[in-house]
Structures are given as structure tokens and as C-alpha cells.
């Protein structure tokens, strides 16, 4: 029995989106505790966990949190890339991957928003 069927989600893409937002939320809170990061990291973490919950429960308000996260994460990532691009290549690669995955999962969630209206 697959993981998606245990969660009663018909789309593997939605399961991947749920896992992405859940992992981002957990990592954001871990970074906030370990590094005393700026509060924007905590906001991204809270919104990511709320979005993961909304995707899991198939709530129609989830698309609004996805849009808020898209704008917040894009602003945070571009700011971070602008100031730290050549200083730490591993960190830059991680932030760039986060930015691209945020765009991909936002586009996927927006295209499948009809499944959230059930």
C-alpha cells in the first residue's frame, strides 16, 4: 500500500507538495531555534505548516496560504541570493533549490486548486 493511498490523497503531486511544505516548516523552525534567524524565517515556517495542514485536509483556503508563501519565499530567497551569492556556494545552492521548488509547487497547487474545493 502506497503512502499516498494511506493519506487518502489521489494525487502523488499533492503528496509531494504536502511533504515539501511540511519539511520547509520544520526546517524553518529548526533554523529559527539554532541560529536566532530573522523573524521572517519563523513566518515562513508557520505559513508552511498551516499550508501543509490545509493540503492534508483539502481546505479551500490553502491556495491563499500558498500565494502568501510564494510571495514571501520569493522575496526572502532573492534577497538572500543577492547578498550571499558568492560567499557560500553550498548555502546559495540550497536557497536556489528552495526558490525553484517553491515556484514549482505553487504552480502545481494553483493548477490543481479544484481538488482543494471538496
The pLDDT tens digits for 57-103 are 988 899 999 999 999 999 988 998 888 778 888 888 998 999 999 99
d(C-alpha 51, C-alpha 69), whole Å: 9
Helix (H) or strand (E) holding 63: helix 62-84
For residue 99, the model assigns a pLDDT of 94
CA dist 93 and 51 (Å) reads 24
**Domain boundaries of the chain, sorted by first residue:** 3-113
pTM: 0.85
Residues 22 and 52: beta-carbon distance below 8 Å: yes
CA angle 110–22–39, rounded 5-degree value: 95
Amino acid at each position: 500500500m502506497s503512502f499516498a493511498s494511506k493519506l487518502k490523497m489521489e494525487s502523488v503531486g499533492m503528496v509531494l507538495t504536502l511533504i515539501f511544505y511540511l519539511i520547509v516548516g520544520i526546517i524553518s523552525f529548526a533554523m529559527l531555534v539554532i541560529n536566532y534567524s530573522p523573524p521572517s524565517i519563523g513566518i515562513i515556517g508557520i505559513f508552511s505548516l498551516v499550508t501543509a495542514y490545509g493540503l492534508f485536509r483539502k481546505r479551500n483556503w490553502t491556495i491563499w496560504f500558498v500565494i502568501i508563501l510564494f510571495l514571501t519565499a520569493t522575496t526572502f530567497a532573492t534577497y538572500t541570493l543577492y547578498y550571499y551569492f558568492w560567499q557560500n556556494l553550498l548555502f546559495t545552492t540550497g536557497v536556489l533549490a528552495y526558490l525553484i521548488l517553491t515556484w514549482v509547487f505553487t504552480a502545481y497547487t494553483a493548477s490543481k486548486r479544484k481538488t482543494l474545493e471538496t
